[in-house]
Chains A and B, each alone.
Chain A
Amino acid sequence: MGDVTLSHGPLDTGFLLAAVASEAAGANVLFTGTTRRTTGDQTTEWLDYEAYEPLATTELNALRRAAIAQFGLTGCALAHRLGRVAVGETSVAVAVSAAHRREAFAAASWLMDELKRRVPVWKHEVGSAGAFWVHPAGEASPAPGDQPQGGGDEPAQ
């Protein structure tokens, strides 16, 4: 797996964390998103993910560059799994390293927010509520020229 990965097989999160390590790093954060069994009183059997892969790769690379610049990261790797992801398995992973923990935690959180907002990946959920594609209500797709949002997520000085 490289700095940005779309994988049709399981994600190697240990590799991802090792890939961002360096002597410049004093803080290393790995976030993994996993398929959850329950949402309220509904249960999930599995998720199937699909992506518009060329644009997803472009967007992930743009997010990675933005995070490195905005948070002063020393390392950053992003991976999303496609295809079927069973309950308990990892669908997304973000690994970042920085000199200090505050920037590393903030960057991982910001990257996940932006990934969920911008990157053309979709989940198809199968469970007690039936089988359906998830298209979050109230959220339009990114507009052209809509850049990753720095907003209130600036790292503390």
Chain B
Amino acid sequence: MQQEASPPSAGRDNAARLPSRFTVHLFAGMAATVGQRSVAIQPQEPTVAGLRAALEETFPAIEALLARSAVAVNGRYAAADVFLEPGVEIAVIPPVSGG
């Protein structure tokens, strides 16, 4: 029996795969709260949703702002189910205030 919940796989055996590590760019109030402009995150599930969960777990102080933030993958706003390929550029986009 597995100790950890494993993500549903599309016909692939993920049991032997280690979670990938991603660099996540942070901005504005998010970067100020964390105290860093980028962080390394190793989500259990390599998706945008998995990344959000891992960020929240690692930095509980950003929970409220993260809930109002978008995630961009390779320069495009990305939905929760988007799969994160190794090496993609990831950024958390808190509510914007340009103008």
B52-99 residues with Cβ-Cβ distance < 8 A to A are 65, 68-70, 72, 75-79, 82, 89, 91, 93-99
Which DSSP category, helix, strand, loop or mixed, fits chain A's interface? Answer: mixed
* Docked pose: A112 CA to B13 CA in angstroms: 49
Are A140 and B98 also in contact (CB < 8 A) when A124-B28, A135-B65 are?
no
Question: How distant is B81 from chain A, measured CB to nearest CB, in Å?
Answer: 10
Q: Does A84 contact B (CB under 8 A)?
A: no
Total interface residues on B, CB under 8 Å, equals: 25
| 17 more A-B residue pairs beyond the given contacts A52-B93, A55-B75, A58-B75, with a C-beta to C-beta distance below 8 A | A49-B98, A51-B98, A52-B25, A52-B27, A52-B91, A54-B75, A54-B89, A116-B96, A118-B96, A119-B98, A122-B27, A123-B98, A134-B97, A135-B65, A140-B68, A144-B77, A145-B79
Residues of A within 8 A of B (CB): 33, 49-52, 54-56, 58, 80, 91-92, 112, 115-124, 132-137, 139-146
* Docked pose: A54 CA to B74 CA in angstroms: 9
Residues of B within 8 A of A (CB): 25, 27-29, 32, 65, 68-70, 72, 75-79, 82, 89, 91, 93-99
Chain A CB count within 10 A is highest, among B25, B93, B97, for: B97
* Docked pose: A64 CA to B9 CA in angstroms: 40
What residues of chain B lie closer than 8 Å to A56, measured between beta carbons? 98
* Docked pose: A133 CA to B75 CA in angstroms: 22
B70 touches A122 (CB 8 A): no
Chain A CB count within 10 A is highest, among B27, B69, B77, B98, for: B98
A135 touches B68 (CB 8 A): yes
* CB-defined A-B contacts under 8 Å, sample of 18: A49-B98, A50-B28, A51-B98, A52-B72, A52-B93, A120-B96, A120-B98, A122-B97, A122-B98, A135-B29, A135-B65, A135-B94, A139-B68, A141-B77, A141-B93, A144-B70, A144-B77, A144-B78
Are A142 and B99 also in contact (CB < 8 A) when A52-B93, A122-B27 are?
no
What residues of chain B lie closer than 8 Å to A55, measured between beta carbons? 72, 75-76, 91, 93
* Docked pose: A123 CA to B95 CA in angstroms: 11
B32 touches A133 (CB 8 A): yes
A122 touches B99 (CB 8 A): no
Question: How distant is A66 from chain B, measured CB to nearest CB, in Å?
Answer: 15
What residues of chain B lie closer than 8 Å to A50, measured between beta carbons? 27-28
